């Protein structure tokens, strides 16, 4: 269950009176040599000349090394016994399934890569991918990687405006989409959404469409069917030799300002971090069936559905659909059907399953599981215990992982491959080898154990973002200037007396709804774009299922009267401008918002009000009466809700 063999990396040594694994000691004592040894697990066309060039806050890992991500995920397996091994077991929401071997994926990736090259896509060009959870999604990503194009995956729940914002920022030349996708038995009209978006994206030259639902759609002069596009192409395309620091992809993530941030991940460093973290945390074996329930539209899917598992040559399950459709046992049915050995999912999904009762998971055979994992948000202890007892039957360790879009891969977690430690429900345990975590105050001073502070990373690591797309200044300001000489994660945390790390949640205005990061300013900007709204403030309320739910406070323009119809109109407006995940649970129409004397909205106060918490210090508040008015208006409205 847990690797506790006396291998060199599992050897325990003493350091300043503390016991520490040799692998972590090596990483601490000589980090460049340590990461160099990790990088040797990958296939390089040319080895690097220098491990790290660090010009704070910009890092270039494995300078002058030449590598290709697709080659490391597919080609390297083709001369081994893995060639005809199942790489992806895909299941659709309606129960249909497809199994693709590494060899079959290789053919599809190469055909698409050649087709993209034929229409002029080359190294450095950007390709937007807006697909449901179907095999063509990782195939499209790997095809881009093969020819050196930079992929930008947009979550298939986002609206046409969100696609346009991201594609315009990256100046994408191509969009790869589908006629539709399935969600809770309904067809999501993805091609129609793209049609609306491309009217606002002048850089788009072609739209490649996967036939997924067979629904009737309009094909314009820019549109090509995916199968027709690749059908006549060769099944071999030479891999582009990429500089280690060349961008592999852009992934847009919400920020505390309205414009989403285009996080850029490089190639060699990112792959090194993913390969190593997956090895340490999941301890993959040749017989593993890995089930990560994330959507590839988010970083977890990029890192631990597409790149890390395929580099390790494991078989993984990819599922398109909701976790509770058509019934409330869908995940457990999939685990039983395919014999999944590792489940990596979100606390949000687990909270929902807990509500359905123990009888549902207990009616399935989950004995194939050997390891359970969580991702996306901190897991509360009661959910952890349910996961351990009901799903794992007290036989499976739980890896509670902390990391971010920006970090590229897992940073804090129990490492089942290198250590056998006591688990603490709700704690991420320790940082991974080579990751130096420190909890500090607002001045950057290290705090003693037990004190809440800001989570920071003290040294560069290979998986770190290389910058933000076309915005180096924002990269520096967002991540490196808040806490001197450190990467600021934007999370509160503390370290207990046993040196276990506990994540306490966001320290800025980022909402975590069902594991998805949404910026308050981005949502507020969408509200204000409506003709009836003068001001908007968004906060969150604790939600047993989703972690947080969105609460919106809107000040209407003069002459506009609130109504139930306007409430519905606002929800539809958010659905169309951002997407369904950004729709507020409740909207309160208020006369004024609490602001500081400098005019900043005090969202902290709104959050305290909706969660019925102590309001705290209001010395910087411009008008204390605004708080009383908001509480009164909320109480009046709640009488009728």
What is the domain-level CATH number for residue 565?
3.30.300.30
pLDDT tier at 7 (50, 70, 90 boundaries)? very low
Q: What is the pLDDT of residues 40-77, one digit of tens each?
A: 999 999 999 999 999 999 999 999 999 999 999 999 99
Whether the per-residue pLDDT at 376 is higher than 60: the answer is yes
Q: Which pLDDT score is estimated for 626?
A: 57
Last residue of a domain, one of 200, 224, 250: 250
Q: pLDDT averaged over the chain?
A: 89
CA distances from 246 to 72, 145, 267, 495 (A): 15, 11, 6, 36
- Residue 188 makes CB contacts below 8 A (sequence gap 6+) with 132, 156, 157, 180, 181, 182
Q: Which pLDDT score is estimated for 20?
A: 55
Structure tokens at 444: 């950057």
Q: Helix, strand, or coil here: 91?
A: strand
Q: Which pLDDT score is estimated for 604?
A: 74
- Residue 549 makes CB contacts below 8 A (sequence gap 6+) with 513, 540, 541, 543, 584, 585
192 alpha-carbon distance from chain centroid: 25
What is the domain-level CATH number for residue 139?
3.40.50.980
Residue 469 lies in a domain: no
Whether the per-residue pLDDT at 16 is higher than 50: the answer is no
pLDDT tier at 639 (50, 70, 90 boundaries)? very low
Residue 242 lies in a domain: yes
Last residue of a domain, one of 250, 277, 311: 250
Q: What is the pLDDT of residues 316-358, one digit of tens each?
A: 999 998 888 899 999 999 999 999 999 999 988 888 888 888 9
Ramachandran sector of residue 291 (left: φ over 0; alpha: ψ -120 to 50; beta: rest): beta
Q: Which pLDDT score is estimated for 165?
A: 93
Length of the chain: 641
Residue 131 lies in a domain: yes
Q: Helix, strand, or coil here: 305?
A: helix
Whether the per-residue pLDDT at 2 is higher than 50: the answer is no
Residue in this structure with the two tokens 């991420």, named with its chain if needed: 428
Residue 472 lies in a domain: no
Percent of the chain whose pLDDT exceeds 90: 70
Residue 166 lies in a domain: yes
Residue 80 lies in a domain: no
Render 220-265 in DSSP notation, one character per residue. -TTEEEHHHHHTTS-S--PPP-EETTS--EEEEE--SSSSPEEEEE
Q: What is the pLDDT of residues 486-545, one digit of tens each?
A: 999 988 899 999 999 999 877 766 787 877 777 777 788 789 889 999 888 899 888 888
Q: Detail the DSSP E strand segments found in 375-440.
A: 398-400, 437-440
Q: Which pLDDT score is estimated for 34?
A: 96
Residue 411 lies in a domain: no
Query: For residues 515 and 301, is the Cβ–Cβ distance under 8 A?
Result: no
Query: For residues 451 and 442, is the Cβ–Cβ distance under 8 A?
Result: no
Residue 259 lies in a domain: no
Whether the per-residue pLDDT at 598 is higher than 50: the answer is no
Last residue of a domain, one of 250, 276, 296: 250
Domains in the chain, number: 2
The pTM of the full predicted model, rounded to 2 decimals, is: 0.85
pLDDT tier at 634 (50, 70, 90 boundaries)? low
Domain span at residue 533 reads 513-638
Q: What is the pLDDT of residues 257-296, one digit of tens each?
A: 457 899 999 999 999 999 999 999 999 999 999 999 999 9
Q: What is the pLDDT of residues 165-189, one digit of tens each?
A: 999 999 999 999 999 999 888 999 9
């Amino acid at each position: 269950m847990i690797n506790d063999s006396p291998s060199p990396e599992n050897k325990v040594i003493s350091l300043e009176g503390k016991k520490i694994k040799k692998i972590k000691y090596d990483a601490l004592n000589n980090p460049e040599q340590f990461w160099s040894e990790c990088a040797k697990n990958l296939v390089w066309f040319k080895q690097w000349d220098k491990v790290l060039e660090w010009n704070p806050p910009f890092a270039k890992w494995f300078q002058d090394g030449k590598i290709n991500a697709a080659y490391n995920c597919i080609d390297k397996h083709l001369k081994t016994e893995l060639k005809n091994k199942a790489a992806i077991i895909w299941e659709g929401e309606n129960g249909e399934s497809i199994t693709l071997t590494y060899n079959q994926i290789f053919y599809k990736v190469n055909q698409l890569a050649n087709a993209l090259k034929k229409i002029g896509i080359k190294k450095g060009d950007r390709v937007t991918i807006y697909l449901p959870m179907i095999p063509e999604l990782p195939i499209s990503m790997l095809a881009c990687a093969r020819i050196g194009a930079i992929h930008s995956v947009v979550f298939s729940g986002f609206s046409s405006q969100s696609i346009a914002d991201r594609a315009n920022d990256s100046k994408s030349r191509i969009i790869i989409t589908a006629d539709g996708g399935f969600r809770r038995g309904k067809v999501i009209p993805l091609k129609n959404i793209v049609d609306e978006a491309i009217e606002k994206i002048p850089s788009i030259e072609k739209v490649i469409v996967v036939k997924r639902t067979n629904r009737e759609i309009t094909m314009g002069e820019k549109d090509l069917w995916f199968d027709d596009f690749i059908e006549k192409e060769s099944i071999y395309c030479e891999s582009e030799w990429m500089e280690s620091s060349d961008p592999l992809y852009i992934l847009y993530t919400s920020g505390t300002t309205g414009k989403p941030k285009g996080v850029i991940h490089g190639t060699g460093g990112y792959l090194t971090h993913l390969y190593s973290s997956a090895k340490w945390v999941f301890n993959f074996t040749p017989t593993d069936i890995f089930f990560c329930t994330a959507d590839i539209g988010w970083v977890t899917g990029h890192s631990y559905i597409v790149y890390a598992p395929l580099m390790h040559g494991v078989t993984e399950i990819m599922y398109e659909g909701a976790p509770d459709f058509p019934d409330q046992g869908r995940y457990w049915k999939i685990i039983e059907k395919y014999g999944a050995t590792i489940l990596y999912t979100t606390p949000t999904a687990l909270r929902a399953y807990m509500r359905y009762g123990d009888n549902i998971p207990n009616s399935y055979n989950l004995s194939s599981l050997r390891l359970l994992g969580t991702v996306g948000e901190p897991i509360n202890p009661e959910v952890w215990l349910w996961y351990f007892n009901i799903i794992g039957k007290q036989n499976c360790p739980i890896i509670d992982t902390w990391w971010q879009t920006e970090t590229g891969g897992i940073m804090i977690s129990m490492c089942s491959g290198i250590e056998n430690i006591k688990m603490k429900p709700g704690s991420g345990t320790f940082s991974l080898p080579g990751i130096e975590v420190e909890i500090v105050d607002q001045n950057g001073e290290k705090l003693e154990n037990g004190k809440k502070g800001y989570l920071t990373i003290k040294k560069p690591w290979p998986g770190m973002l290389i910058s933000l797309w076309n915005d180096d200044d924002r990269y520096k300001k967002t991540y490196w200037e808040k806490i001197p000489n450190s990467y600021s994660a934007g999370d509160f945390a503390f370290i207990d007396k046993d040196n276990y790390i506990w994540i306490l949640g966001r320290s800025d205005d980022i909402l975590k709804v069902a594991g998805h990061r949404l910026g308050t300013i981005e949502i507020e900007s969408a509200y204000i774009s409506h003709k009836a709204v003068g001001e908007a403030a968004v906060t969150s309320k604790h939600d047993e299922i989703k972690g947080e739910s969105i609460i919106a406070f809107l000040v209407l323009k003069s002459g506009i009267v609130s109504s139930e119809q306007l409430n519905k109109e606002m929800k539809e407006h958010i659905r169309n401008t951002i997407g369904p995940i950004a729709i507020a649970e409740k909207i309160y129409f208020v006369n004024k918002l609490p602001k500081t004397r400098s005019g900043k909205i005090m969202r902290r106060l709104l959050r305290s009000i909706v969660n019925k918490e102590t309001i705290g210090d209001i010395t910087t508040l411009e008008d204390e009466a605004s708080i009383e008015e908001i509480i009164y208006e909320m109480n009046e409205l709640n009488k009728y809700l």
